[in-house]
Amino acid sequence: MHEVIICEKPSSAEKIAKALSPSAKKKVYNKKVKYWELKRDSKDITVLSGVGHLYSLIPKENRYSVSFNLHWVPSYEASKSSSYTRNYLRAIKKFGQDADSYIHACDYDVEGTLIGYNALKFACGEDSLKKASRMKFSTLTKKDIIDAYENRMDIDMHQVDNGIARHILDYYFGMNISIALSNSVRKTKHRFLKLSVGRVQTPTLSILVNREKEIREFVPEPYWVIKAILDFEGIEIKHVKGNIFDRELAEEIFNKCDGKDAVVDKIEITNSKTKPPVPFNLSGLQAEAYNVFGFSPKRTQVAAQNLYSAGYTSYPRTSSQKLPESLGFDSIFKQLSANHEFKKHIDQLPSKLKPNNGKKEDAAHPPIHPTGILPSKLNSDEQKIYDLIVYRFIAVFFDAAKFETMKTTLDIEGEKFKFSRRRVTYKGWMEHYPFKKIDDERFPDVKEGDVMSVKELISEEKETKPPARYNQASLIKELEKKNLGTKATRADIIDKLYDRKYIEGTKIEVNTLGEHLIDTLNTYCNNLTSEKLTRSLELKLEDINTDKTTKESVVGEGEKEVKEILGDINKNMEGIGSKLYEAYQEGNIVGECSCGGRLVKRKGRYGSFVGCTNYPDCNVTYSLPRNSRILKTKCEKCGLPMISTGKGKNLQRMCLDPNCGKDNVAVKVHEPEVVGECPQCGKPLLKRSGRFGEFIGCKGFPKCKFTCSVDELESKLK
């Protein structure tokens, strides 16, 4: 009997092979692809692996034109960037055909199910599906793998249909509409401009554009805060009205209280509790990793996936916040106790282990949790995420933290002021979660009727602030709240917006092209930017899983919507093409030419260059070295932008104009600005520029990988 097991990634294949047989033998195909052979239950088993998706959708006709007639082809045929999949697919075809039975052992979610299904159908032959069963596991521990192998189930065809429908809709909304928009520029302006839109990507960009406009259109309103500094312990008290938007009232209160003493009117002591946190799902882990370490959601997701693949933590792409007892909490804690630091907290766990579960559930997988297997070797990112997962897992079993709050009201000439203090009476879970800062304040020794001398009375004028820009973590939360995208795709969607140069910075700003793209789509075909349409399709895709609708119905509805959008683009081709090209031009303006025109970054036959918009009347051009970046800083002598070339120690900065006096020689950029001392290794912290804007990094990199955002620096150093 010959059995073939298809896995999603090489690391999973190794874990599964070794779990099923300690004597599993590693083989290598074509000097590149590892696979495994073993014996179990009198079967000869071959464990084969993909590297994610091995098949992609392309049109049956010309792939560079709009099409609704798609078919699956090997990914390396669809894209040169997927050439690395070729040998994996060849290995599956060579060793995976004509077996007596097949096991689908890819990750148990929609994407994983589709990956394995396509590998079986197209590489092993359609007959393989008739002899196939499915393993379902949430961790790659030996126990869970063997349990999944011995309790196999049928392949969930609803998940398969969901995955197929998603890929088809993503092509319809992504490729078809992107091609149509690019064609509108080509036919109107006779220029090629590669534009990118998507079913979830475009509504996400629309959310960011709307926030950008709110900030721009915000009109600040002045207000006043009346506060006093007491002569006793420098206590600051504030008027109970808080923000006072009436200048005359603020002046009246100030004049009335100026030079007067304060009398303690009332002291109220209250007790409160703060419940333990809930277990991590993916978005919760991403948000916490951003708040604690400044990690982007994508960076967190990669580290969490690596930990899962190594068997140290459970499957990360989950929505669940409810830990089932079947995980075996005692067993996990017993294994974790081999680590001295973890043991100090585990030894104090209550005798009855009851987690503080959240509201969200996921039928496929439990929350993210440690398996109990302690890591042997992790990189810096993985270690931080692992510690975060372990301490969160420990913390959810402890009691609530208890606090006592002192609210004090004071009277100054009939005007009420207040201050409050909060102190910890019982640390509870907070003592076991080192990433949570505990605010423990001392209560001042005051009692009702005390007369307090006022050292200084202050009337502070302020202005209301516009809404805050999204960061990557808060945008993930917004997408989750609006039910846009999935837990597995949201980080990739944000990453794609950065890659397309529509957005930039850690506090996300939309650039000219991104904003004009949304404005143009809203003007001519706003269904594409509609959250409602995207959310509706997302819910219907989920309904495929529960047999409430069919793949054909959802794809048909999506095709109808896309054809309407394409019709709008065709009717308004000239307007769309002109506006998008103008936006592209505006977004590439780097300065002003001496002739009065604008200097614009362009691409030519021999690479990128900067040229004047008044060409051919003005033929001013500046070539750009390969892999150079145009900086926001200007040359002190001529006012043109500075450019940078090289990386790391070879980073150089020079004027755009190579003939600009002293700046025609590249200036080597030495050490960036020192802004403090690294809290982890003590070496200098440097302000650096990265893909998402400025950030703080340790000079000890790569040995020390401490990073944080510029805004978080002060809190990190405390």
Please tell me which residue in 315, 581, 584, 622 is annotated as part of the active site: 315
Distance CA 458, CA 390 (A): 47
Q: Is-cis flag, bond preceding 702, omega within 30?
A: yes
User: Which of 279, 301, 277 is CA-nearest to residue 289?
Assistant: 301
Contact 110, 317 (CB under 8 A): no
End-to-end CA distance of the chain, in Å?
64
Distance CA 318, CA 298 (A): 15
Distance CA 132, CA 117 (A): 10
C-beta neighbour count of 191 within 10 angstroms:
14
Q: What are phi and psi of 634, to 5 degrees?
A: -110, 155
Instruction: For residue 141, give the amino acid letter.
Output: T
For this structure, is 315 an active site residue? yes
Token reading at 386: 């692992």
Contact 208, 510 (CB under 8 A): yes
Instruction: For residue 361, give the amino acid letter.
Output: E
| DSSP letters for 158-185 | HHHHHHHHHHHHHIIIIIIHHHHHHHHH
> Going by C-beta distance under 8 Å and a sequence separation of 6 or more, which residues neighbour residue 638?
655, 657, 660, 661, 663
Give residue 15's Cα distance to chain centre.
28
- Point out which residues pair with 19 in neighbouring strands: none
Token reading at 528: 């594409």
| DSSP letters for 641-680 | EEEEES-GGG-EEEESSTTSGGGGSPEE--PPPEEEE-TT
Whats the size of the chain, residue-wise?
Answer: 718
Catalytic residues: 315
